[in-house]
Structure 1
Amino acid sequence: MPELPEMEHYRRVLSNHILDIPISDIKVTRDKSINVPVDTFTSALIGNRVIFVERRGKYLNFHLNNGGRLLVHLMLGGLMYYGTNEDLPDRSTQVEISFGEHTLYFIGLRLGYIHLLSAKEVEQVFSELGPEPLDRRMNAERFVKIAKKRRGGLKTMIVNQHVIAGIGNRYADEIAYRASLLPSAKVQDLGEEALQKLYDSMIEVLNEGIEDGGYIDTPIQKDDQLTGNYKAKFKVYDREGETCYRCGGVVSKVELTGRKAFFCPSCQHDQ
């Protein structure tokens, strides 16, 4: 599932291409990917423009010039591609939104969706999310206060979208590794220094993920050389049995509350 870095990367790319261009065509091949009848969806979009693309957690929120919103959550397996039919990857699309000669293709929306909503309805969805880790209002002090109210495993806390928005399995493991903490470490047992290090690691890993185009290696546009570059930089995620880059130990995998977690038992600790 795309996480904060992937969605922020998508936001930046699309903001450079689709803003203020009238929507010229809509194609929906999977009705379940949208929340209204196809005719309603089409008539609400054609002729209107996207004036701003916002990211909140793992969501993209397309602000329309008529006051409406398109709320996108790609969920597991979802992708986006911006270009033409000639350079589109050989994948089936569920929704296509055309901006003149170029189209934004939504691919793999088996669970993902594009909902046509009002601004108020989007606010209600976002009200259930925790703070943005990279927001200027977030800092180490606020993060420590949030963490000190929690109990349970470190990874369980940081993937909880009601606590912190945007982090999923992959980046949670990488953040824990950067902080030299086990993903199973109990949050209530972590001192101020460990929580500070966890916060710093979270900011570093997420920013690096964004700058390197996230981990999804399907290009978002033709001749794209950035998307997915962070995948090769994972230190522990999906590296079970491989050598730890930091200490030479062996990366392990366990299941924590129904989620797989990758870590190095030699250089990651409980505190």
Structure 2
Amino acid sequence: MQELPELDHYRNLLADNFSGAQITAIDIRNEKAFQVSEETITRELIGSIVWYIERRSKYLLFHLDNGRRLRLSLHQGAYLYSGSEEERPGKAAQVQIRFGSRILYFIGLRLNDLQLLSAREVEEQLATHSPDPFHKQLTLDRFIERFARKRGPIKSALMDQSVITGIGTVYSDEICYSAAVRPDTKIPDLSREQWEGLYNSVHKILKEAVSFGGTGEHPFSADDTVTGGYAARLHVYNREGQTCSESGAVVEKIDVSGRAAYYCPEYQKS
């Protein structure tokens, strides 16, 4: 799944462009991606208005004025594009939702990535999901408690969606760097001070990444100059052999539980 900053960035773009917009047509090119009948489309989607867009856990939710929800999953490689018929993206879109002359293209969707649900069905699906990193009730102590049963390296634990949602391989490395903690440090070896650093870094890095457009590779529209802006601000992820801005040492790549991890051996000593 895409990481929290990319999803929150999409939420902001969708809200700016489609809140209050009316759905005028839907073109489904891949029925597996959005399994809904023509009758349902006509009855429940055409003519409905997008009330607002929300990110919940790893999903984007389009709240419609008839009480229904469009629930969207975006895997790595999938993306959204907004434009006219003439501005259509280079790759084929599995689903196209028309809002008059504007079209929202869904590219790279997989099985059931787009679903039409009731409010109750959404809540049932999300009932067992782990806390959002930005949830007000996720205090430092509760953050630490979420990792209490883990014994492996902190990078793997940060990426575990059963602990907290939205952190993947890119931002786990950046969070560890911001907290000056090695990504392969075992959970039981972390001090209270390190936990506090990680907790603060989760909020700092994710919020910064959202504000700079995440690390997505595909623009949202023809005039989009924001999406992917955080890629140039990454400190260690995919920067093996480059110089660390804090220590001047060389960023290294190591294996952490079968995944590549990037860190600075001078700045992240423990």
TM over 0.5: yes
- Secondary structure of the 2:18 match is coil
**Bigger CA drift: 210-219 or 256-265?**
256-265
1:70 and 1:257 map into 2 onto residues whose CA distance is: 36
Q: Which residue of 2 aligns with 1:69?
A: 69
Q: Indicate yes or no: 2:236 matched with 1:236.
A: yes
Distance 2:26 2:268 in 1: 49
1:123 aligns with 2:123: yes
Partner Cα distance (1:188, 1:38) in 2: 54
CA distance in 1, matches of 2:7, 2:131: 16
- The one-letter code matched in structure 1 to 2:53 is V
Structure 1 position 111, deviation (Å): 6.2
User: Which residue is equivalent to 1:87?
Assistant: 87
1:245 maps to which residue? 245
Indicate whether 1:26 and 2:26 are aligned: yes
Report if aligned partners of 1:11, 1:54 keep a CA contact under 8 Å in 2.
yes
Q: Is the 8 A contact 1:217 1:229 kept in 2?
A: no
Asked if the contact 2:34–2:111 (Cα under 8 Å) also holds between the matched residues in 1, the reply is no
Runs (5+) with no aligned partner, structure 2: none
Q: What amino acid maps onto 2:61 in structure 1?
A: N
* Kept after mapping to 1: 8 A contact 2:81/2:104: yes
Q: Which residue of 2 aligns with 1:225?
A: 225
Alignment partner, residue 15 of structure 2: 15
The farther-off stretch of 27-36 and 143-152 is 143-152
2 CA distance for matches of 1:126 and 1:76?
Answer: 21
Distance in 1 between residues matched to 2:76 and 2:112, nearest whole Å? 7
- Give the deviation of 1:43 after TM superposition: 4.2
Q: In 2, are the aligned partners of 1:30 and 1:94 still within 8 Å (CA)?
A: yes
> CA 1:111/1:77 → structure 2, altered by over 3 Å: closer, same or farther?
farther
Q: What amino acid maps onto 1:140 in structure 2? A: L
Tell me what 1:137 maps to: 137
Partners of 1:26 and 1:42 within 8 A in 2 = no
Cα separation, 2, equivalents of 1:171 and 1:89? 28
What amino acid is aligned across from residue 154 of structure 2 in structure 1?
L
Query: How far apart, in 2, do the equivalents of 1:39 and 1:81 lie?
Result: 26
Label 1:43 to 1:78 Cα distance change in 2 as closer, same or farther (>3 A). Answer: farther
Aligned residues between the structures: 270
Question: How much is the aligned-residue C-alpha RMSD, in angstroms?
Answer: 1.8
60-69 vs 34-43, greater mean Cα deviation: 34-43
Contact 2:32-2:112 at 8 Å conserved across structures: no
Instruction: Structure 1 unaligned segments of length 5 or more: list them.
Output: none
Alignment map for 1:1-271 (pairs within 5 Å): 1-37=1-37, 39-41=39-41, 43-110=43-110, 113-270=113-270
Deviation at 1:230, TM superposition (A): 0.1
Partners of 1:162 and 1:123 in 2: how far apart? 17
Gap change, CA 1:232 and 1:101, over 3 Å in 2: same
Q: Which SS does the other structure have where 2:14 is aligned?
A: helix
* Alpha-carbon distance in 2 for matches of 1:41, 1:162: 34
Question: Normalized against structure 2, the TM-score is what?
Answer: 0.93
Cα shift readout 1:184-226 (whole Å, capped 9, x = no counterpart): 1111211111000001111110010000010013211231121
Residues 160-198 of structure 1: CA distance to partner in whole angstroms, max 9, x if unpaired?
Answer: 111111111101110011111111111121111100000
